């Protein structure tokens, strides 16, 4: 396909969203809506993309990043005025300019290709992508003459009662011959109900100039639907979620209940992985083959290797190794790496720590800033005391260590290879390789204490002798 350059309009306020944020940064399935448009344009072969920014321009620029050249429209005087801002940037370019609204979330690669092809084949000066909808309200109508040829596009607010009945609407995606576009734009006026410079007015100007204008009707009735309100945003979310789920299921992923499985656009999931109900998988997450995810699991920006299982867990910015097991009720936070066949079990929280191959952290543990070697067993209730109120400190647990239950590891601290830590210890010094670290009050038994209590009553039981049963 011959090349084209694209202009995406994203300077508007998006008043109907009733948001403090620009409309185009609102997300659909984890992706800012403008990125959906940029993805499609790139995939369809746009050589270069300009984005017109205005309202909270810096924020939109940050979202767009390297994906497009941003051009400022400092006052938002309408879609036609927005395109005028790109004239200088395009001064050296001759050829096809595709213009799309930044809220054209349903635009497909197929539609872009057929629009550009049709435009080039017919050597038109302008080609509009339109669609036929049941309810045209809110859209610009494509007015065709008796011969069936496009005559103009009229905005709803400027429609006559007859025009209002037209069901073919403007998608706000067009191809233009560059020179003709800017020539026509120099002649549009804000002489309409909204007092704006409408891009759509260039169509009538071109026709009056005797130029050829075409319209390509998309097969998809949604093609024209922009996202103007939060209701439309939620509709788009649902439609795209369905598409994502369908694509993944057809590629070999099992979803026991698709209706309660929520997956973002860029998530990758391998064959024969099974997603149990009420699971949310977001961001740049990659899940391997033969995994079991869920139920009630929320995974964000994480990597899960083949054969791992994660149940009732929250996993954020973590790596879960091959055949590792997580949960139920675990929280893996940023910077966690669980190696192959390791386990972070019930009520376990792990932050910025690695757990080596085959190591187990089965119950009620907090690991923060810890490096755990392989084949380590961490007893229930073990806590790394990594924070002194000012700084975070590391805990290093070497291969083959056994940490008894209810241990406090006061960081910075190292437990040497193969060492043991006795249950209930508060470890404040390093434990050398092969040693037993024990740090707890020595037990003593007071013979016949219970009998004496009963005889003498509580009065006589001294505090010290109450064996911790004293509840004042």
Active-site residue numbers? 363
CA 148 to chain centre: 44
Q: Which stretch binds ligand UD1 (CB under 6 A): 194-202, 401-409, 422-430, 459-467?
A: 194-202
DSSP 25-48: GSEETTEEHHHHHHHHHHHTTEEE
SS3 249: helix
Site string for ligand UD1, 61-90 (x = CB under 6 A): ------------x--xxxx-xx--------
* Shortest distance, position 9 Cβ to ligand UD1, whole Å: 3
Q: Does 226 bind Ca ion (CB under 5 A)?
A: yes
CB contact burial 176-198 (16+ within 10 A = b; e otherwise): bbbebbbbbbeebeeebeeebbb
- Residue 315 binding result from Ca ion, ligand UD1, none, given CB thresholds of 5 to 8 Å by partner type: none
Nearer to Ca ion, 15 or 74 (CB): 15
Binding ligand UD1 (rule: CB under 6 A), the pick from 199, 248, 287, 431 is 199
| Element containing residue 64 per DSSP (H, E) | helix 57-64
| Helical pair 201-208 and 178-185, crossing angle rounded to 10 deg | 100
Give residues 332-351 in contact with ligand UD1 (rule: CB under 6 A): none
Q: Which stretch binds ligand UD1 (CB under 6 A): 9-17, 88-96, 112-120, 275-283?
A: 9-17
Nearer to ligand UD1, 29 or 224 (CB): 224
Binding ligand UD1 (rule: CB under 6 A), the pick from 4, 106, 139, 262 is 139
- Residue 300 binding result from ligand UD1, Ca ion, none, given CB thresholds of 5 to 8 Å by partner type: none
Distances (CA, A) of 410 to 157, 352, 459: 69, 16, 39
Q: Does 102 bind ligand UD1 (CB under 6 A)?
A: yes
Nearer to ligand UD1, 46 or 313 (CB): 46
SS3 371: strand
- Residue 198 binding result from ligand UD1, Ca ion, none, given CB thresholds of 5 to 8 Å by partner type: ligand UD1
Residue 108: left (phi > 0), alpha (psi -120 to 50), or beta? beta
CA dihedral of residues 91, 92, 93, 97 (deg, nearest 10): -20
* Shortest distance, position 99 Cβ to ligand UD1, whole Å: 9
DSSP 86-117: TTTTTTT--SEEEEEETT-TT--HHHHHHHHH
Cα 280 to Cα 260: distance, rounded to the nearest angstrom: 8
Length of the chain in residues, anyone?
472
What phi and psi, each to the nearest 5 degrees, are found at residue 134? -70, -45
Binding ligand UD1 (rule: CB under 6 A), the pick from 96, 200, 311, 407 is 200
SS3 370: strand
* Shortest distance, position 118 Cβ to ligand UD1, whole Å: 19
* Shortest distance, position 262 Cβ to Ca ion, whole Å: 26
Q: Does 103 bind Ca ion (CB under 5 A)?
A: yes
Give ∠ CA 167-168-169 in degrees, rounded to 5: 105
Residues 6+ away with beta carbon under 8 Å from 103 = 14, 23, 24, 33, 34, 226, 227, 228
* Shortest distance, position 173 Cβ to Ca ion, whole Å: 11
Q: Does 136 bind ligand UD1 (CB under 6 A)?
A: no
Give ∠ CA 194-169-230 in degrees, rounded to 5: 70
- Residue 29 binding result from ligand UD1, Ca ion, none, given CB thresholds of 5 to 8 Å by partner type: none
Q: Which stretch binds ligand UD1 (CB under 6 A): 5-13, 115-123, 401-409, 447-455?
A: 5-13
Q: Which stretch binds Ca ion (CB under 5 A): 211-219, 223-231, 285-293, 456-464?
A: 223-231
Cα 40 to Cα 106: distance, rounded to the nearest angstrom: 10
Nearer to ligand UD1, 123 or 134 (CB): 134
Binding ligand UD1 (rule: CB under 6 A), the pick from 31, 64, 84, 140 is 140
Q: Does 50 bind ligand UD1 (CB under 6 A)?
A: no
- Residue 395 binding result from Ca ion, ligand UD1, none, given CB thresholds of 5 to 8 Å by partner type: none
- Residue 321 binding result from ligand UD1, Ca ion, none, given CB thresholds of 5 to 8 Å by partner type: none
What phi and psi, each to the nearest 5 degrees, are found at residue 86? -95, 0
Q: Are strands 4-10 and 46-53 parallel, antiparallel or unpaired?
A: parallel
Q: Which stretch binds Ca ion (CB under 5 A): 125-133, 228-236, 246-254, 426-434?
A: 228-236
Give residues 210-269 in contact with ligand UD1 (rule: CB under 6 A): 224, 226, 228
CA 131 to chain centre: 29
Binding ligand UD1 (rule: CB under 6 A), the pick from 198, 331, 339, 420 is 198
- Residue 117 binding result from Ca ion, ligand UD1, none, given CB thresholds of 5 to 8 Å by partner type: none
Cα 105 to Cα 91: distance, rounded to the nearest angstrom: 28
Binding site for ligand UD1 (CB under 6 A): 9-12, 24, 52, 54, 73, 76-79, 81-82, 101-103, 139-140, 153, 155, 169-172, 198-200, 224, 226, 228
Binding site for Ca ion (CB under 5 A): 103, 226, 228
């Amino acid at each position: 396909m011959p090349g084209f350059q694209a202009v995406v309009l994203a300077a508007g306020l998006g008043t109907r969203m009733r948001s403090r944020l620009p409309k185009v940064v609102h997300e659909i399935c984890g992706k800012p809506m403008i990125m959906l448009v940029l993805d499609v344009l790139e995939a369809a072969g746009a050589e270069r993309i300009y984005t017109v920014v205005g309202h909270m321009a810096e924020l939109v620029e940050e979202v767009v990043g390297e994906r497009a050249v941003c051009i400022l429209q400092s006052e938002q005087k309408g879609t036609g005025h927005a395109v005028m801002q790109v004239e200088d940037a395009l001064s050296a370019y001759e050829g096809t300019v595709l213009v799309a609204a930044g809220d054209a979330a349903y635009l497909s690669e197929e539609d872009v290709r057929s629009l550009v092809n049709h435009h080039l084949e017919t050597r038109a000066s302008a080609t509009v992508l339109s669609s036929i909808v049941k309810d045209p309200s809110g859209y610009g109508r494509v007015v065709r003459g008796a011969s069936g040829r496009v005559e103009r596009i009229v905005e709803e607010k400027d429609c006559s009662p007859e025009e209002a009945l037209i069901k073919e609407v403007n998608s706000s995606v067009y191809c233009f011959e560059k020179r003709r576009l800017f020539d026509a734009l120099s002649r549009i006026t804000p002489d309409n109900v909204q007092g704006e410079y409408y891009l759509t007015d260039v169509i009538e100007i071109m026709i009056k100039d005797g130029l050829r204008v075409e319209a390509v009707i998309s097969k998809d009735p949604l093609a024209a639907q922009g996202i103007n309100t939060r209701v439309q945003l939620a509709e788009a979310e649902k439609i795209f979620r369905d598409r994502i789920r369908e694509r993944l299921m057809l590629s070999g992923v099992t979803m026991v209940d698709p209706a309660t499985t929520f997956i973002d656009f860029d998530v990758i999931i391998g064959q024969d992985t099974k997603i149990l109900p009420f699971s949310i998988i977001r961001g740049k997450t990659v899940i391997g083959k033969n995994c079991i995810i869920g139920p009630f699991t929320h995974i964000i920006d994480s990597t899960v290797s083949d054969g791992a299982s994660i149940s009732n867990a929250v996993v954020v910015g973590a790596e879960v190794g091959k055949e590792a097991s997580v949960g139920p009720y675990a929280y893996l936070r940023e910077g966690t790496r669980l190696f192959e066949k390791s386990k972070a079990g019930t009520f376990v929280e792990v932050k910025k720590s690695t757990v080596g191959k085959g190591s187990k952290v089965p119950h009620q543990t907090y690991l923060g800033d810890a490096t755990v070697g392989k084949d380590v067993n961490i007893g229930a209730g073990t806590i790394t005391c990594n924070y002194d109120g000012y700084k975070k400190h590391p805990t290093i647990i070497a291969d083959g260590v056994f940490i008894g239950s209810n241990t406090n590891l006061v960081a910075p601290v190292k437990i040497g290879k193969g060492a043991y830590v006795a249950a209930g210890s508060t470890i404040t010094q390093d434990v050398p390789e092969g040693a037993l670290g024990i740090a707890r009050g020595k037990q003593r038994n007071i013979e016949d204490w219970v009998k004496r209590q009963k005889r003498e009553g509580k009065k006589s039981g001294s505090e010290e002798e109450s064996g911790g049963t004293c509840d004042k």
